[in-house]
Amino acid sequence: MARQSPQRPDADEPELDDTDAAAAADEVEEDRPPADRALWDEVRIDPVEIALPAGTGFTLRAYRQARELTPTDVAERDQDDPFLARRQVVETEEDEEVVILDEEFAALSAEEDDEDEEKDAKSRRKGKADASDDEKADEDEDDEDEDEAGDEEVPVFLTHKGRLLLFKTPESLVTFIRSGAPNDLSQLDSWNELSERLEPADIAPLDEDTYELDLVVENLRGGHDAWDHELLIEAGEIARDLAYALRLPAVLDMLSAGSSLDDLDEALRASVNGGVGGFLGRRRLKKIGAQTASLGWRTIVGKISAVVDWRD
């Protein structure tokens, strides 16, 4: 829709200064009724808005116990994965296969890893010495770990055959849900109720369910002083959820505990707190390479974008 030129104020009407205009805007917001959350609370599903370089779209997300869900089928998607051609398999000293996620990011990460190589070697030697004492205990805990994994609450999105369904308008999302088309959320026991009651006006994501992945790389490139902590923390949250639900192991690895991007996430979270923790978090952020972080997130956003199915 073309943006209309602002109209000149009537000569008899006083012009509002900036303070009055802001107050008027706040009053409009207060008068606007909040979106009804009753339906979403009942079905335990939430509308989500995600901005990617290709555009902004609406989808749905829920959290359920892992044992209640059938993972999305990625067989058809992986046959046409545009990133497979860029992956390189190399042999490590232990003859294990390693997947290089992104050439530039891998090179920079390797430089950072070299600094901790000696510490890692010491840890491995100590680990071998203690391994024999822990083997029996590990075997006893395997069954418990499997049970706990089944009870873990995990994310599931509006997906189909390994692709995230993103809709450009609330109306198109509601039309799809009412159509009865196959999707991975239809396995939820509350899906039928949602499809019967949902209206376009209900598609009003909360602020915490709105994510701007399209801004992450550019923000990181701006340098430490320009980093938007809230933007980056929320990006990490949605990226982990999507990587799990869409079965993107490469993205999960890049954000896993101990990775450079996980270190960035922890430092960001610590820096928003006050006191000594916040001070230490800000110090840690200064040591994180902006180039490495931006390259890593470029890869993540690219991999997520590659498995999006845009719907009008």
Percent of the chain with pLDDT over 90: 54
Contact 99, 87 (CB under 8 A): yes
DSSP secondary structure of 146-197: HHHHHHSEEEEESEETTEEEEESSHHHHHHHHHHT---GGGGSTTHHHHHHH
Q: What is the domain partition of the chain in residue ranges?
A: 35-139+152-311
Half-sphere exposure of 115 (CA within 13 A, CB side): 6
Local confidence band at 253 (pLDDT 50, 70, 90 cut-offs): very high
C-alpha torsion sign, points 142, 147, 152, 154: positive
Q: Is 60 helix (H, G, I), strand (E, B) or coil?
A: strand
Pairing of strands 55-65, 45-52: antiparallel
pLDDT digits (tens, 9 = 90+) for 218-237: 999 998 889 999 999 999 99
**Residue 204 pLDDT greater than 50, yes or no:** yes
Q: Is a pLDDT exceeding 70 seen at residue 167?
A: yes
CB distance 288 to 266 below 8 Å: no
H or E element in which residue 239 lies: helix 229-245
DSSP state of 32: S
The answer to pTM > 0.75 is: no
Q: What digits encode the pLDDT tens for the residues 112-158?
A: 555 555 545 555 555 554 545 555 555 555 555 555 656 899 999 99
* Number of Cα atoms under 13 Å in the Cβ half of residue 14: 5
CA–CA dist 23, 29 (Å, integer) = 10
pLDDT band at 41 (very low <50, low <70, confident <90, very high): very high
